[in-house]
Chains A and B, each alone.
Chain A
Amino acid sequence: MSEEIHARRLLQGNEAIVQGALAARCRFFAGYPITPASEIAEQLSVRLPAVNGTFIQMEDEIASIGAVIGASLAGGKAMTATSGPGFSLMQENLGFACAAEVPCVIVNVMRGGPSTGLPTSPAQGDVQMARWGTHGDHSIIVLAVSSVLDSFIMTVRAFNLAEKYRVPVIILSDEVVAHTRESVELPLKSEVKVVDRIAPGMPPDWYKPYQEDARGVPPMAAFGDGYRHHVTGLVHDQDGFPTQNPQEVEKFHQRLSMKITKGLPDIQLTRKFHMDDAELFVVAYGSVARSAMRAVEEARMAGIRAGLVQLITLFPFPRRTLTPYLQQCHSVLVPELNLGQISREVQRVNQGQCTVVKQNRVDGRLITPQEIYNRLVKLSSGRLS
């Protein structure tokens, strides 16, 4: 047996997502070529068959996510990767995965939009689409990655959350994270915690595929396991069959929402820097969080009591993490590569305690540490103690 050793490697974000997917035991990928996500497909087409997995390039993104859901129903861990235009096409079947509770992971390496937009420039314009893109009320988990190492760790995490809560998990990366090469030390196989969906333990005759239990997440049988059951995107009862009975329809919606709400402490991931004594803070995610970190360090050196809350989970929005800081600080700065998609979430949970300041760039360029620093200086002027 070869011994595992920690090794430094030069990887780009997309490569780290591939490594993370394999570490999480993803065995199926279906996708359609698109910049800046294509490396994920290319590399998985090489790696998956070697581990008895399957790669397929489909005719479009609609088909890609359809195949991913099919593979997951047959018991495999499955994913796809795309960018804005492809993500738009996936919204239909994404809703199916929410309704039928099919675990899967969708990577969206964001680029400028709308429409074909700016294919090779970074942006964070798909944040609200990731949350609300498919029609109807639905629960979904959205994670944002900010570095190469993050791309690995959060891809594993995405699969674990998808399997645990039977929900599609969206990973938002951006062109900068995806294509920047960084020297990283990936965790060893033995250090990676992998979660698998819970299979039914009862005899097939007793199996109710959508039965309500304390956890709110029913065990999931794979097609072919002997637990013959029905899966539909129609609102369904505990047996999985379509229903229009108002009580059953209500129950269906409540459970899909509750299963995520119950898991919030587990699902909502954030990182905090210098927050204990902060008087003002930054809320950032993705590549912008890297600029923000640098800006906060420099602000500290200049005597400004600034902090940073980096959001990894964008949705369900980590309200409970932010609330105490919104009470503690006089201002919060929300830099984003869009016209204000997370700042509106911050405003929503703020309830007027704190001044919410937007900082936006939509010209296809990054927000630099200097820009954020300058804003922090301005916000703190006259308030320095």
Chain B
Amino acid sequence: MRLYAVVAAGGFRRYATYRTATAAGVFTNTVFGFIMAYTYTALWDVRPQLGGYDTSQALTYVWLGQALLMTSALMGGGFESELVERIRTGDVAVDLYRPADLQLWWLAADLGRAAFHLLGRGVVPMFLGALAFDLAFPGSLWTWPAFLLSVFLGVVVSFAIRYLVAMSAFWLLDGAGAMQMAMLAGLFFSGMLLPLNLFPGLLGEVARALPWSSLLQVPADVFLGKHTGWGLARAYVFQAGWAVVLLGAGRLLQTAATRRVVVQGG
């Protein structure tokens, strides 16, 4: 356990090193936040209460999206390209001999990365957004820890998806295609383009049931107070359920792949 805490701290520090890059990223998140906020305003001007959000809730959704873009790695990024590279070159064989679990190791590192991005690239754009627009901050203090738990579960789901993508490299060797597909799915089904409540009919129902909705839509709804009481518990169960299923699938693939590596002699 202590080992993984150290790995997580390492993940945090690693991203904290790039200060100029973080500042540049904050700038980008803020610019995109402004552009999206104006388009959402135009949309909600015509249809107030669209998707069950009022205008300030819709604007809050925009800035939450910018805050979680890097945190929950909605478009991918973080560890998976590194792991794919280690699989391709065979370096992963060394990792497998280490007295640490491969999946937990990378999960810990990714949690550290997410924690840094939440602080480094989430808080400042949100603050700047709040200066320029009328945002809907939680009325109850309890909403904040509830939101953070939901973000945490979202990051774990995001990790589990990206771990599966990386594992595919054992069979495909080149992970570029799988990573790109995962990026497209993440962008579309997380609710980054538009809240999933606004997706029409069956597409909306499917999108809300898929794991990617844990990454942005669910945490945003927790923040906006859409899930309370049993509804909040249901939201957590939804996120944790996907996390368990996907982590389990990742573990299965890892076991299968490890056997393959041994058969091939590394």
Whether A associates with B in a native complex is no
Chain B interface (Cβ < 8 Å from any Cβ of A) = none
Chain A interface (Cβ < 8 Å from any Cβ of B) = none
